[in-house]
Chain A
Amino acid sequence: MSGTLNKHIVLKTNKLSIGYTSKKETTTIGSNINIELHKGELVGLVGANGIGKSTLLRSLTNVQSKLSGDIFLNDKTLDAYSNLELAKVLSLVLTESLSSKNLTVLELVALGRQPYTNWIGNFSKKDIDVVNEALIQINIEDLKDKKCFELSDGQLQKVMIARALAQDTDLIILDEPTTHLDMYHKAYILKLLQRLTKETGKTILFSSHEIDLAIQLCDKMIVMTKNNVVSDEPCNLILNGTFENLFPKDLIAFNEKTGSFRVKK
Chain B
Amino acid sequence: MQHTHRYTISFITLVFLLILVFFLNVSLGSVSIPNKDIINILFGIDQNPSWHYIIMDYRLPKAFTAIIVGSGLGISGLMMQTLFRNPLAGPFVLGITSGASLGVAIVTMGSSIFGGILLGMLASKWTIVIAATLGSFLVLLLVLIVSSKVRDAMAILIIGLMFGSVSAAIVNVLSYFSSAEELQQYFFWGFGSLGNLSWNELLILFVIYLLGILLSLGTIKGLNSLLLGENYAKSLGLNIKRSRLIIIISTSLLAGTITAFAGPIAFIGLAIPHITRQVFNTSNHKILLPAVFLFGSIVMLICDSIAQLPSSEYTLPINAITSLIGAPVVIWLLVRKRKMMF
Residues of A within 8 A of B232 (CB): 92, 94, 96, 98
User: Could you tell me if A63 and B234 are in contact, using CB atoms closer than 8 angstroms?
Assistant: yes
Across the interface, name the chain B residue whose C-beta is closest to A102: B283
User: Could you tell me if B283 and A100 are in contact, using CB atoms closer than 8 angstroms?
Assistant: yes
User: Could you tell me if A99 and B238 are in contact, using CB atoms closer than 8 angstroms?
Assistant: no
Across the interface, name the chain B residue whose C-beta is closest to A116: B237
Q: Which of B2, B220, B227, B234 contacts A103 (CB 8 A)?
A: B227
A86 close to chain B: CB less than 8 A: yes
User: Closest CB of chain B to A87's CB: distance in Å?
Assistant: 3
User: Closest CB of chain B to A151's CB: distance in Å?
Assistant: 15
Residues of B within 8 A of A192 (CB): none
B127 close to chain A: CB less than 8 A: no
User: Closest CB of chain B to A239's CB: distance in Å?
Assistant: 37
Stretch in A37-45, A105-113, A212-220, A254-262 touching the partner? A105-113
Bound-state CA distance A107–B288 (Å) is 14
B277 close to chain A: CB less than 8 A: yes
B224 close to chain A: CB less than 8 A: yes
Across the interface, name the chain B residue whose C-beta is closest to A131: B1
B286 close to chain A: CB less than 8 A: yes
A183 close to chain B: CB less than 8 A: no
Bound-state CA distance A103–B228 (Å) is 9
User: Could you tell me if B229 and A119 are in contact, using CB atoms closer than 8 angstroms?
Assistant: no
User: Closest CB of chain B to A89's CB: distance in Å?
Assistant: 10
**Size band of the interface chain B makes with A:** 20 to 34
Bound-state CA distance A86–B2 (Å) is 27
B217 close to chain A: CB less than 8 A: yes
A120 close to chain B: CB less than 8 A: yes
Residues of A within 8 A of B236 (CB): 87, 111-112, 114-115, 167
Binary interface encoding of chain B residues 21-62 relative to chain A, with 1 for a CB under 8 A from any of its CBs, else 0: 000000000000000000000000000000000000000000
A84 close to chain B: CB less than 8 A: yes
Residues of B within 8 A of A102 (CB): 227, 277, 281-283, 341-342
Indicate whether A111 sits within 8 Å of B228 (C-beta atoms), given known contacts A121-B220, A121-B286: yes
B125 close to chain A: CB less than 8 A: no
B124 close to chain A: CB less than 8 A: no
User: Could you tell me if A83 and B237 are in contact, using CB atoms closer than 8 angstroms?
Assistant: yes
Identify the interface centre among A98, A117, A123: most chain B CB within 10 Å of its CB: A98
Bound-state CA distance A167–B237 (Å) is 11
Bound-state CA distance A98–B226 (Å) is 9
User: Could you tell me if A83 and B239 are in contact, using CB atoms closer than 8 angstroms?
Assistant: yes
A88 close to chain B: CB less than 8 A: yes
Across the interface, name the chain A residue whose C-beta is closest to B235: A92
User: Could you tell me if A99 and B284 are in contact, using CB atoms closer than 8 angstroms?
Assistant: no
Ordered by A's residue number, 5 sampled pairs between the chains whose C-beta atoms are within 8 Å are: A63-B234, A86-B235, A86-B237, A92-B232, A115-B236
A-B complex: 7 closest residue pairs judged by Cβ atoms: A87-B237, A84-B237, A121-B221, A102-B283, A100-B227, A115-B237, A92-B235
**Apart from A100-B342, A112-B236: 16 A-B pairs, beta carbons within 8 A:** A84-B237, A87-B235, A92-B232, A94-B229, A94-B232, A99-B82, A100-B283, A102-B282, A107-B284, A108-B228, A110-B1, A114-B238, A120-B217, A120-B286, A121-B224, A123-B1
